[in-house]
Amino acid sequence: MAKSFNTITADAQVAASTMNAPPTMNDPLNSALAESIVNKPRNLKIYGYIIGTAAIAFGVIALAQSGHFFGGINHEIFDTFWNNFTKNLFKPLLLFFYLGFAISMLRVPFEFPQALYQGLTIYLLLAIGWHGGEELAMLSGNSLTQAMEFIAVGFFTNLTIGAIAYYILRKLIPKLRRVDAATVAAYYGSDSAGTFVTCLGVLQMGAIAFAAYMPVMLAVMEMPGCLLGLYLISRLRSKGMDCDGNMPNEPEYHCDDAVSHAPGPAADFLVDEKVEAEKVLTTDELHPTTTVDMQTATGSIKQLTLPLPVKHKILDPHLIREIFLNPGIFLLMGGIVIGYVSRLQGTSVTAPDDQLFVGLFQGMLCLFLLEMGMTAAKRIRDLRSVGKRFVIFALVAPNIFACIGITVASLFSHITGQPLELGTYVLFAVLCAAASYIAVPAIQRIAIPEASPTLPLAASLGVTFTYNVTVGIPLYLAIAECVLKTFPVS
C-alpha cells in the first residue's frame, strides 16, 4: 500500500495513536492503564529500574577506575569507555535529547510540531544518503566489492540477531505471548535510523573515520526484521493462533476465533478475489479443523477443536512494497543515488548543496533528538505494566547484539584481509544493537494486527534507543577500540 510523506511521522510516533486509542483485548498493556492512572506511584518503577541499573554500572566503572575492583585485569576498556562517555555526556546532541526527555517527564505543555519533525526526518535521511553517495563515488573497484560483501554479511547478521532475540524472549519471559515475542524480535532484527544518525554525529564530532557505504548498510539491515517477523507470525497462524493473537496453550485463547488466514487488515491482502468470485467455499472448506484430546487441571479429558496447519503467503505484493518501498528506505536510497551521480560530475557540482546537506547536519540532528527525547519518555511509561525481565531484556540485549556485531566485523576483516575503520566497527555495532521504530511498526499495522502496538515500541524506543544514545555508543566505541588493538588486521 503506497504511503505518502505524511506517514513518516506516524511510523516513528505510533505513540500519538496508541496512547489515545481505546483499550483493546489483545494489548497486554491496556489492561493496566486504568489502574495506573489511579495508582501513579507504579509509574515510577520503570524509572527506578533504569536509574538503578545505570547507577550500578557507573559504580562498577568508578571502582574499576580507582583500581579497587577487577584487580589484575586490564582496565583499558573501562578507561576508554569512561572517557568516551564523559566526553559525549554534555555535547549538544545529548543535551537536546535530555531536554526533550525532561519536557515529557515534567509534563511541560509543549508539543513538537509534527510538520517540523516530518521535515527533519526527510532532511536527515536525504543528508545521510547524499553524503554517503558522495563518498561511494570516490571508491575504487576493490572497495566496492568489499562493501557489497560486508553489506550481505550485515543482512544475515541482523536476521540472526532477530532469531536470537525471539529465543531469548521465549526463555526469559515464558508468559509473554508468542505473537508479541515474535513482533519484538522483529523490531530487534531491524535497525534504527535515529540511533544511526546520532552515532554519525558523535563520530563526526570526534573526527572518527568510517566506511562510505554504511548508509547503504542502514537501509539493507532494516529489512531482515520485517522478513523475520512475517515468517514467525505465519508459523503461529498455521498452528492455530486466534484473532486476538493467542495460541492454544495461552490464556484467553478462543478456539472458535481461530482462523486459517491472516485476520484484520492483513486478511484483505491474502484473499484472491478471482478465486472468491468463482468458488464459494463452505465453512469446513475455508477453515479445516481437527479434534484433539486435552487433559484439564482436574484430570478430565476435554476435546478441543483446532484449525489444521495451512500454508500461507509469507509475502504478498502489498507487503513487499511496504518493505522495499518504505518511505525511509526510499528516501535514503534516493539520496545515495543523487549524491553518487552528482559527485561523479565533480566537486563543483556538489559544493553548493554540501552547505545544506553537510554543513547544517549537526544542527538539524539536535532538533531531531529534542523530539526523540520527548517520544522516548512517553514510550517508557508504557512499560509500567510489564515485568522487570522485559525491561532487563531491553537494557541488556543491545550490549549482546553490539558485541555480536563487533565480532562479526572483526571476523570479516580478518577473513578478507581488509582492515575496517574504527567508525565502521561502531556504526555496525549500533545497527546490530538498535531496534526499529519506523519500518517494522508500519509492517506490524498492516500484517500483524494481533500483536500489541505499544509493547515493542516501549522497548525499542523507550529503553533501547535511550540506552544506546547515552551509554551504548561510548561503550561500543570503547569495545571496538579494544578489539582493533587486540586483534589487528595485518
Strand partners, 294: 302
Domain extent listing, the chain:
6-18+88-239+315-486, 255-307
Question: What is the mean pLDDT of each successive set of 10 residues along the chain, which is 490 residues long?
Answer: 42 42 42 41 50 48 44 60 74 88 91 90 89 84 86 95 95 90 94 90 90 89 89 86 83 63 38 34 44 56 53 60 76 89 91 90 90 85 77 94 96 93 95 88 80 86 91 92 89
User: Which of 107, 109, 110, 62 has its CA nearest to residue 85?
Assistant: 62
**One-letter identity of residue 468:** N
Helix, strand, or coil here: 295? strand
Return the C-alpha cell found at 465. 534507543
Q: Write down the pLDDT at residue 102.
A: 92
In order, the DSSP letters of 68-128 are: SSSTTS--HHHHHHHHHHHHHHTSHHHHHHHHHHHHHHTT-S----HHHHHHHHHHHHHHH
Q: Write down the pLDDT at residue 295.
A: 53
Q: Beta strand pairing status for 301-307 and 289-295?
A: antiparallel
Asked if residues 29 and 455 have their Cβ atoms less than 8 Å apart, the reply is yes
Q: CB 186: neighbour CB atoms within 10 A?
A: 32
Q: CB 403: neighbour CB atoms within 10 A?
A: 17
As to burial, measured by CB atoms within 10 angstroms (0-12 exposed, 13-18 middle, 19+ buried), residue 362 is: middle
Quote the CA–CA distance of 323 and 2 in Å, as a whole number.
Answer: 11
**One-letter identity of residue 98:** Y
Alpha-carbon torsion, ordered 435, 437, 439, 442, to 10 deg: 140
Alpha-carbon torsion, ordered 81, 87, 89, 92, to 10 deg: -140
> What is the CATH number assigned to the segment(s) 6-18+88-239+315-486?
1.20.1530
Cα dist from 23 to 89, 378, 453, whole Å? 38, 17, 11
Q: Write down the pLDDT at residue 237.
A: 85
Category of 210 on φ-ψ map: left (φ > 0), alpha (ψ -120 to 50) or beta: beta
Quote the CA–CA distance of 397 and 386 in Å, as a whole number.
Answer: 17
Category of 271 on φ-ψ map: left (φ > 0), alpha (ψ -120 to 50) or beta: beta
Sequence-ordered strand ranges (E) for 209-325 = 289-295, 301-307
Q: H/E/C letters for each residue in 360-385?
A: CHHHHHHHHHHHHHHHHHHHHHHHHH
Measured over the CA atoms of residue 399, residue 404, residue 405 and residue 410, the dihedral's sign is: positive
